[in-house]
A and B are shown apart, each in its own frame.
Chain A
Amino acid sequence: MNRDLAVETDGLKKRYGDLTALAGVSLSIEAGEIFALLGPNGAGKTTWISIVCGLVRASAGHARVLGHDVVRDPIAARKLVGLVPQEVNFDPFFTPREVLSFQMGYYGQRPDSARIDEVLRALDLQAKADTNTRALSGGMKRRLLIGKALVHRPRVVFLDEPTAGVDVALRRDLWSYVRRLRQEGTTIVLTTHYLEEAEALADRVAVIDHGQLVGLDTTAALLARFGNKQIRVRLTAPVARVGEPSSAALPSLPDWLKELGATVDVSGHVVTCPLGGMATAALLARLGSLQPAVADIDTEQPSLEQVFLALTGTTGASPAKAPQ
């Protein structure tokens, strides 16, 4: 048991009949870090969070929050956490202000109107503070969920898909708010479908697939190990796709480019080549003599999508970029 760890799970397993949702996940999340859990749909991310938050009982293994076992010492563990669940929920009888007030009370804190106003302001819900929650839009309901998870100042916050369905401007605001929380010492654990979100926020990333941990490191280390910087070249005339026969009208790529792992898109005009260990300048120099000639060039930075693809063999339902 390590009290410096915000969250610690040892061999966490969960079975639902024949289905194994978690197959022994051990993770240690340090206090004060932003930690992202990535994985395809059904990988076990929500199950892991649900066990740590006490919503689901593990079939085997242990989970601790700041040293408190979630089964043996559940009340102490729950006092320290805030959860934004994946599914939007709302209480149709009350206003956002009342909901936040109740939430503080559940955690043993007297309602503090200054704190409630601060959260409402941070989530841009002030205008609807005294309106019935039924009248809130989908995005507003999701923001209220985030408010409920934060209003009692938890030391560990679990955000299960926190920005799904939230517009771009608010998403950026929420990212700033999450960073501010971290500066104040709060540990953030988030799952997200937006890999861009994990890249922008997370200090460390764990990738879960089929209930197992398949990758765990700092975001930078994962990008360095599995991400590829690529160069994309648009040609003035088409070339044959790699592995397909060439002709006078559709010449083949030179062998040195094929050896670097270049691919050609369906149109024959766009060649994508991983840089690997090669310096960009050296590659550009050789591309100058390419026939057909180069019309345009751009480079693509390594992304968590590549990491995700390398570790899980799928892009899952996880778009690399949040909708704009």
Chain B
Amino acid sequence: MNAIGFRTLFTKETRRFLRVPGQTLAQPIVTTALYFLVFGYALGGRVREVDGVSYIRFIVPGLMLLGLSQNAFLNTSSSMFIAKMQGTIVDLLVAPLGVVDLLLAYILAAILRGVMVGGIVWVISALFTGFSVSHPLWVLLFGVLVGATFGLVGLAVAIWSDKFEQLNIVPTFIITPLTFLGGVFYSANMLPPPWSYVSRVNPVLYMVEGLRYGVVGTSSSSPWLGLAVTGGIGLVSLAIAAWMLRTGYKLRS
């Protein structure tokens, strides 16, 4: 392993998003804060409690996951896609950086950005709901796993994409719908059959519920199931991204 090379790329990927904080940190914070205010207060008045938790507190983990997943995805996808478009990907392809070096650097930077945004969303929410966290280690575990998974998906999508339109297909038509239908604003228990069953096919539901278990201490499914689902998707994403980098798919002609 090229330890200095990996650290350098990780530093670069981190500095890249910190250099444009308005776009990478402030924008998702404003967006999620608006979700929190509008859904939390507008709906919170009608739906007072879900699964024994106040609605305004219930939606916090979902909003954290929204910010976390989107930012982890964006960090790798935008960086890799810009590098391909600008031609700077040559720097990485010619350098003595192995698949492990590249993957670790990209994933860790994605986790860092995702967890930072998720953490800030939690802080803003906590101003309204209180600063208690039921299971901090579960929160950290899901934060890291979800960040890594979406970071890997972003990396794979960016390598596959030849144009911006393709880059946007996955977040627009897959990630965003799955996230919104993944129990961010409701509990799967609230839906009547068959929708409650359909909802349970959505893997994002288990990520949200896992994070919810960590933050508020209750969830409609076991956090272990959430861990297994997130870990499984993470491993599949890892295998795909590693294969792409190892074979040079769409990178080395």
- Write the residues of chain A forming the contact surface with B, with a CB cutoff of 8 angstroms: 16, 50, 53-57, 74-76, 78-79, 81, 83, 85, 87-94, 98, 101-110, 148
Question: For residue A50, which residues in chain B have a CB less than 8 angstroms away from its CB?
Answer: 253
What's the nearest-Cβ distance from chain B to residue A47, in Å?
9
**Contact: A91 with B88, CB < 8 Å?**
yes
**Per a CB cutoff under 8 Å, which of A55, A57, A79, A105 touches B8?**
A105
Q: How far is the CB of B113 from chain A (nearest CB, A)?
A: 14
Contact status A57-B94, CB under 8 Å: no
Asked whether, in the complex, the Cβ of B7 is within 8 Å of the Cβ of A106, the reply is no
Alpha-carbon distance between A92 and B97 when the two chains are bound, in angstroms? 22
From B12-20, B173-181, B219-227, give the one contacting chain A: B12-20
**B87 to A, closest residue via Cβ:** A89
- Besides A56-B252, A106-B91, 14 more A-B contacts (Cβ < 8 Å) are A55-B93, A55-B252, A78-B95, A89-B86, A89-B91, A91-B86, A93-B15, A94-B15, A102-B12, A103-B91, A104-B8, A105-B8, A108-B3, A110-B4
Which residues of the partner chain A approach B15 to less than 8 Å between Cβ atoms? 93-94, 98
Kindly state the separation between the CA atoms of A54 and B2 in the bound complex, as whole angstroms. Answer: 17
Nearest Cβ on chain A to B100's Cβ, whole angstroms = 11
- CA gap between A56 and B94 in the complex, in Å: 10
Contact A83 B92, beta carbon cutoff 8 Å: no
The answer for the CA separation of A74 and B94 in the assembled complex, in Å, is 9
Taking a contact as CB atoms under 8 Å apart, the answer to whether B96 and A89 are in contact is: no
* Shortest CB distance A136–B (Å): 13
A residues near B3, Cβ cutoff 8 Å: 108
Given the contacts A55-B94, A78-B95, A90 and B4 also touching, CB distance less than 8 Å: no
- Give the complex CA separation of A148 and B92 in angstroms: 12
B3 to A: closest C-beta gap in Å: 8
A-B pairs, top 3 by smallest CB distance, nearest first, are A105-B8, A89-B87, A106-B95
Residue of A nearest to B248 (CB): A57
Closest to B10 in A: A105
B9: interface (CB < 8 Å):
yes
Cα distance A16–B15 when bound, in Å? 38
Closest to A76 in B: B96
Tell me the nearest residue of chain A to B8, going by C-beta: A105
Q: How far is the CB of A84 from chain B (nearest CB, A)?
A: 10
Main secondary structure of the interface of B (DSSP, over half): helix
Q: List 23 A-B contacts (CB under 8 A).
A: A54-B93, A55-B94, A56-B252, A57-B252, A75-B98, A78-B96, A81-B94, A83-B94, A85-B90, A89-B86, A89-B90, A91-B88, A93-B19, A98-B15, A102-B8, A102-B11, A102-B91, A103-B91, A105-B5, A106-B5, A106-B9, A106-B95, A106-B96
Contacts of A56 in B (CB 8 A): 252-253
Give every chain B residue within 8 A of A109 (Cβ-Cβ): 4
- Closest CB in chain A relative to B240 CB, distance in Å: 20
Cβ distance B246 to chain A, nearest Cβ, rounded Å: 11
A89 and B89 CA atoms in complex are apart in Å by 9
Given contacts A54-B252, A75-B98, contact A105 B4 (CB under 8 A): yes
Question: What's the minimum C-beta distance from B102 to chain A, rounded to whole angstroms?
Answer: 10
Q: Residues of B contacting A110 with CB < 8 Å?
A: 4
The A/B interface has a contact count, at CB < 8 Å, of: 86
Interface size on B, residues (CB 8 A): 30
Q: Is the CB of A108 within 8 A of B5?
A: yes
Q: Which residue of B lies closest to A77 (CB)?
A: B96
Task: Give A32 Cβ to nearest chain B Cβ, in Å.
Answer: 21
In the complex, per-residue mask of B225-253: 1 if CB is within 8 Å of any chain A CB, else 0: 00000000000000000000000100011
The answer to whether B88 and A105 have CB atoms under 8 Å apart is: no
On whether the beta carbons of A90 and B86 are closer than 8 Å, the reply is yes
Cβ distance B96 to chain A, nearest Cβ, rounded Å = 4
Do A78 and B90 touch (CB < 8 A)? no
| Pairwise interchain contact B88-A53, C-beta atoms closer than 8 A | no
**A55 vs B94: C-alpha distance in the bound complex, in angstroms?**
7
B residues 19-60 near A (Cβ < 8 Å) are: 19-20
User: Please, which residue of chain B has its CB at the minimum distance from the CB of A56?
Assistant: B253
Is there an interface contact between B94 and A78, defined as CB atoms closer than 8 Å?
yes
- Chain B residue nearest in CB terms to A80: B96
Most buried by A among B2, B8, B94: B94
A148 to B88 CA separation, bound complex (whole angstroms): 11
Q: For residue A98, which residues in chain B have a CB less than 8 angstroms away from its CB?
A: 15
Docked-complex contact A85 and B95, CB < 8 angstroms: no
Residue of B nearest to A152 (CB): B95
Chain A CB within 10 A, most for which of B5, B86, B95: B95
Closest to B3 in A: A108
Q: Which residues of B contact A75 (CB under 8 A)?
A: 2, 96, 98
Closest CB in chain B relative to A115 CB, distance in Å:
14
Interchain CA distance A120-B39 in the complex, whole Å: 54
